[in-house]
Amino acid sequence: MAKAVTEMRADFQHLRRWRRSVEQAQSYTFKAMITVIVTGFVGAVWLGIKVMLGK
């Protein structure tokens, strides 16, 4: 019985580590998406300014 409890505890600890790593990956993905969007917007604005000044 004690071995089953120990194994169950280890399983829950593994699941907790897995959940935390998935949450961290989601956080990094969200930050990367925001960075790409902002960079694209700033690039478009910069290109528009270059075109306006070039005329």
Tell me which of 32 and 2 has the higher pLDDT. 32
Q: Please state the domain count of the chain.
A: 1
Q: Is the pTM of this model over 0.85?
A: no
Residue 46 has pLDDT above 90, yes or no: yes
Q: What is the mean pLDDT of residues 28-45?
A: 97
* CA–CA dist 47, 34 (Å, integer): 20
Residue 11 has pLDDT above 90, yes or no: yes
Tokens of 15: 């699941």
Percentage, residues of the chain above pLDDT 90: 91
**Sign, Cα dihedral of 22, 27, 30, 35:** negative
Q: Which domain holds residue 37?
A: 1-55
The CA–CA distances, whole Å, from 33 to 28, 38, 39, 42, 44 equal 9, 9, 10, 14, 17
